[in-house]
Amino acid sequence: MNPRKVWSVAWKELLQSARDPLSLGMLLGVPCMMLLLYGYAINFDVRHIALAVEDNDKSAVSRELIASFVNSTYFDQVADLPAGADLRRLTERRQAKGVLIIPEGAARDLAAGKTVPLQLLLDGVDANTATTVLGYASALIAAANVQEVAAASGRLQLAPIDFQPRVWYNPELKSTRFLIPGLIGFILMLTAVLSTAISVVREKERGTMEQLRVTSLKPGELILGKTLPYLGISLLATVLILVAARFLFGIAVAGSYFQLFAATLVYLIGALGLGLLVSSVADTQAVAFQGGALISMLPAIFLSGFIFPIRSMPRALQIVTYAVPARYFNVVLRGVILKGAGLESYPQDMAFLVVYALVVMGLAYLRLARKEV
Amino acid sequence: MASPALEADHLTKRFGDFVAVDDVSFDVHPGEVFGLLGSNGAGKSTVIRLFCGLLAPTSGSGRVLGIDIAKDPEGVRRRIGYMTQRFSLYDELTVRQNLNFFGGVYGLRGRAKTERLAWAIQMADLGGKEDLVTRSLPGGWKQRLALACSLLHAPRLVFLDEPTGGVDPISRRRFWGLIDSLSGEGVTIIVTTHYLDEAERCDRIALLDTGKLVALGSVAELKEVFAGRAVLEVICPRYLEAQERLEKEDWVHEVSLFGDRLHVVVDDAEEGRRRILALLESDGNTPATAERIVPSLEDVFIHSIEAQGGKA
């Protein structure tokens, strides 16, 4: 292994990237663009739900109840309906996601100590949103009940069981906090695989690979020279993503930066090795691009727990996820970024990432060191 | 004579059922310009790729500068230069960056590297063009840059695989000037080409056809194949009909078609000329000319391939 030869290849690779704004843009620009797109677009938080109200009581009590819905900021009152309004039309035209119906005489019945039936109609087409909205509404009504009981009994009374849930690491339950670590894993996998795969296949297409094979360059020197620049560029992309996450989404790294980059390095070596493997199979840049995108993107999105929880997958798919490095990287990254945990908390996940990197790089070496291509 | 710079000994390469190189044996002397000729698919490039260690021989053996290609392909690669028709350069890099890169990959450094780079720029006549992007260079310049890159480590033997493909005639002539001066410095050159005028510039040539070696020797030696016979060039209106007609005559050794002209090989020039005229006149296909010509290499090749085909 001659470091000068490795450096010659690495420097040439950097010069080529610098001359090719497209590839550099892909390596640095695309990650940030994806972070913006996914960060803002993939948002499971439900707020400002359009709510129509049919208040048949028009009392202080009913007004107070409506105010508690609106003040929660989860609901926006979009319509004040007269009795007997056509509710179906309203929901079909998607003017309101829900309708709150307060019966006539609600205040009177409450004062008399009777139970008042309160109806909430929900548009259940989007099941996720409906479930979330139902949760908000139940919590608001529970709070209202406590107040009513207190008012009726004439003294402040505590509920018999005071349930006080607290959510750690992501107290506001913001989905971006959960998604961004997964997004880093996904973006790095995609760019690392594509950049190495395309850079090697481009040399095959142009015939320069054959020229290199006739020089005394060893396969190990070629692999190192090809991966080091992209490793550096990918780490730079990681810094950009973290900066963007900090300023756009207010997500700071709770744990150690050193450990974060150590884990990222191991993950990237596996990803770059996968890119080399793709390049040893593909003969054209188009095939390398499609194959690389498929093999890196699909598992990193669907089988990594990035968006879809692994435990709710069918058993067979769950088994497949054990071979997806992003699955382990997501666990580690969420731990380091959100919980401030150290790598020692995830020995199995780190061990897998190391094994994956070694196996994939080893296979890539064997493929590229073949006598005949 | 000194030991050969390159030896092929019953060299054979199969790809599945396809025999790309079939039991080929020849030697190349040090400092020689040796041409490998043949049509597309004749096996020229495969022979070169075997000698560069890019392919392993199925059977037989080969030695380059005394090193066995199967046993020490790396040792071979360190000592040879290789240039392909595709001018394997990095298009987006400048002339200097390309030279720098290949110099680095060949392990050059320090003063030795500076000196070789200066030599290469001077040799390829690229002075003042160092900072131009390779993509923008005309074909002839790219060709000389590719040659320079393959010579940076001062190899004693160079393989040039169709080095003049797609390059204008003036650049081709200039390139052959470079080949001659390299050969003058004692560098052995093995070149494939399908241009016959280039083949005439080689010291010796080997003709390959469907993987087999069908002729080997100096240009003059190969032309002696026609010793004692004459080649007549016949131009007549219905040349295809004339070819068929002449092939039936037993006093005609060979008829081959060059565009709209026939080359007819006979024992005696005057006698042959008289007979051809008489025969074609009786068909109303009177030739405009039937003149004796100096056989070209092309005549030799067609003769060699047909003779080989006749034996099989």
User: Does some domain include residue A345?
Assistant: yes
What residue numbers bound the domain in which A115 lies?
A: 49-153
Tokens of A240: 């950009």
- What's the Cα-to-Cα distance from B308 to each of A92, B210, B219, B232, B235, rounded to whole Å? 86, 11, 18, 22, 27
8 Å CB contact of B90 and A213: no
Answer yes or no: are the C-beta atoms of B29 and B1 closer than 8 Å. Answer: yes
The whole-angstrom separation of Cα A329 and Cα B100 is 39
Confidence at residue A43, expressed as pLDDT on a 0 to 100 scale: 65
User: Is it the case that residue A287 has pLDDT exceeding 90?
Assistant: yes
User: Is it the case that residue A284 has pLDDT exceeding 80?
Assistant: yes
Enumerate residues 6+ apart whose C-beta is below 8 A from B123. B148, B151, B178
User: Please, which pLDDT band fits residue A216 given cuts at 50, 70 and 90?
Assistant: confident
8 Å CB contact of A208 and B97: no
Same domain flag for B65 and B149:
yes
Task: Point out the least confidently predicted range of A26-40, A284-298, B120-134.
Answer: A26-40
Number of domains in chain A: 2
Give the mutation candidate from A22, A203, A206, A216 for the B interface (greatest B CB count, under 10 A): A216
Say whether B293 sits in a helix, a strand or coil: strand
B71 touching A (Cβ < 8 Å): no
Same domain flag for A278 and A145:
no
The whole-angstrom separation of Cα B89 and Cα B145 is 8
User: Please, which pLDDT band fits residue A88 given cuts at 50, 70 and 90?
Assistant: confident
User: Does some domain include residue A166?
Assistant: no
Looking at per-residue pLDDT, the higher value among A203 and B164 belongs to: A203
Which of these, A265, A264, A277, A261, lies nearest to A196 by C-alpha position? A277
Same domain flag for A226 and A359:
yes
Tokens of A298: 């699909």
CB-nearest to B78 from A9, A19, A216 is A216
8 Å CB contact of A9 and B53: no
User: Does some domain include residue B150?
Assistant: yes
User: Is it the case that residue A171 has pLDDT exceeding 80?
Assistant: no
Q: B2 vs chain A: nearest CA distance in angstroms? A: 26
Answer yes or no: are the C-beta atoms of B297 and B218 closer than 8 Å. Answer: no
Same domain flag for A194 and A331:
yes
Share of chain A above pLDDT 90, in %: 30
Displacement of CA B187 from its chain's centroid (Å): 17
Say whether B294 sits in a helix, a strand or coil: coil
Which of these, B126, B197, B200, B123, lies nearest to B154 by C-alpha position? B123
Name the one residue in this structure whose structure tokens are 């509404």. A137
Same domain flag for B71 and B189:
yes
The whole-angstrom separation of Cα B21 and Cα B10 is 9
Q: Which of B190, B218, B246 is the last residue of a domain?
A: B218
The whole-angstrom separation of Cα B22 and Cα A255 is 66
Which of these, A132, A135, A147, lies nearest to A65 by C-alpha position? A147
Name the one residue in this structure whose structure tokens are 């040039």. B160
Same domain flag for A344 and A208:
yes
Confidence at residue B311, expressed as pLDDT on a 0 to 100 scale: 45
Tokens of B26: 């020849």
Q: Which of A153, A183, A204 is the last residue of a domain?
A: A153
Enumerate residues 6+ apart whose C-beta is below 8 A from B29. B1, B2, B4, B5, B188, B203
Name the one residue in this structure whose structure tokens are 């929880």. A309
Confidence at residue A372, expressed as pLDDT on a 0 to 100 scale: 63
Confidence at residue A19, expressed as pLDDT on a 0 to 100 scale: 84
Q: What is the mean pLDDT of chain A?
A: 86
> What is the pLDDT averaged over residues A95-108?
88
The whole-angstrom separation of Cα B260 and Cα A136 is 92
Same domain flag for A145 and A235:
no
Helix, strand, coil percentages in chain B from 3-state DSSP, rounded to 5: 40, 30, 35
User: Is it the case that residue A40 has pLDDT exceeding 80?
Assistant: no
Same domain flag for A73 and A217:
no
CATH of the domain at B62: 3.40.50.300
Confidence at residue A159, expressed as pLDDT on a 0 to 100 scale: 63
User: Is it the case that residue A357 has pLDDT exceeding 90?
Assistant: yes
A216 touching B (Cβ < 8 Å): yes
Q: B49 vs chain A: nearest CA distance in angstroms? A: 9
DSSP run (H or E) holding B68: strand B67-68
Give the mutation candidate from B49, B51, B88, B151 for the A interface (greatest A CB count, under 10 A): B88
Q: Which of B158, B189, B218 is the last residue of a domain?
A: B218
Looking at per-residue pLDDT, the higher value among A303 and B219 belongs to: A303
Name the one residue in this structure whose structure tokens are 């894993």. A185
User: Does some domain include residue B223?
Assistant: no
The whole-angstrom separation of Cα A281 and Cα A367 is 9
> What is the pLDDT averaged over residues B20-45?
89
User: Is it the case that residue B51 has pLDDT exceeding 90?
Assistant: yes
CATH of the domain at A106: 3.40.1710.10
User: Please, which pLDDT band fits residue B312 given cuts at 50, 70 and 90?
Assistant: very low
8 Å CB contact of B84 and A210: yes
Same domain flag for B279 and B175:
no
B238 touching A (Cβ < 8 Å): no
Query: Which chain A residues are within 8 Å of B103, Cβ to Cβ?
Result: 8
Secondary structure letter of residue A336 according to DSSP: I
> What is the pLDDT averaged over residues B117-139?
92
CATH of the domain at B276: 3.30.70.100
Task: Point out the least confidently predicted range of B141-145, B221-225, B242-246.
Answer: B221-225
Same domain flag for B192 and B270:
no
The whole-angstrom separation of Cα A330 and Cα A343 is 12
**Which residues, listed in sequence order, are joined to residue B255 by a DSSP beta bridge?**
B264
Same domain flag for B102 and B25:
yes
Same domain flag for B270 and B190:
no
Same domain flag for A227 and A363:
yes
Task: Point out the least confidently predicted range of B59-63, B94-98, B169-173.
Answer: B169-173
How many CB atoms within 10 Å of residue B187?
21
Number of domains in chain B: 2
Confidence at residue A371, expressed as pLDDT on a 0 to 100 scale: 63
User: Is it the case that residue A269 has pLDDT exceeding 90?
Assistant: yes
Tokens of B55: 């392919």
User: Does some domain include residue B273?
Assistant: yes
User: Does some domain include residue A229?
Assistant: yes
What residue numbers bound the domain in which B67 lies?
A: 6-218
Same domain flag for A244 and A102:
no
How many CB atoms within 10 Å of residue A176?
21
User: Does some domain include residue B1?
Assistant: no
The whole-angstrom separation of Cα A372 and Cα A45 is 55
Same domain flag for B143 and B256:
no
Q: Which of A107, A123, A153 is the last residue of a domain?
A: A153
Same domain flag for B128 and B47:
yes
Tokens of A305: 């727990």
> What is the pLDDT averaged over residues B132-146?
91
Q: Which of B198, B218, B238 is the last residue of a domain?
A: B218
Same domain flag for A224 and A345:
yes
Secondary structure letter of residue A57 according to DSSP: S
Size of interface A-B (CB pairs under 8 A): 74
Same domain flag for A202 and A93:
no
| Residue A189 CA neighbour count, 13 Å, CB half | 28
User: Does some domain include residue A106?
Assistant: yes
User: Does some domain include residue A311?
Assistant: yes
The whole-angstrom separation of Cα A358 and Cα A345 is 22
Answer yes or no: are the C-beta atoms of A110 and A148 closer than 8 Å. Answer: yes
Displacement of CA A84 from its chain's centroid (Å): 44
- Measured in degrees and rounded to the nearest 5, phi and psi for residue B159 equal -100, 125
Q: What is the mean pLDDT of chain B?
A: 88
User: Is it the case that residue A2 has pLDDT exceeding 80?
Assistant: yes
User: Is it the case that residue B47 has pLDDT exceeding 90?
Assistant: yes
Q: A203 vs chain B: nearest CA distance in angstroms? A: 9
Query: Which chain B residues are within 8 Å of A9, Cβ to Cβ?
Result: 101, 104-105
Same domain flag for B132 and B102:
yes
Please, which residues 135-194 of chain B have a Cβ atom closer than 8 Å to chain A?
150
> What is the pLDDT averaged over residues A54-65?
89
Same domain flag for B173 and B112:
yes
- What's the Cα-to-Cα distance from A125 to each of A86, A91, A94, A128, A175, rounded to whole Å? 19, 10, 11, 9, 21
Query: Which chain A residues are within 8 Å of B88, Cβ to Cβ?
Result: 206-208, 210-211
Q: Which of A120, A153, A186 is the last residue of a domain?
A: A153
Same domain flag for B112 and B132:
yes
Same domain flag for A215 and A90:
no
The whole-angstrom separation of Cα B166 and Cα A169 is 66
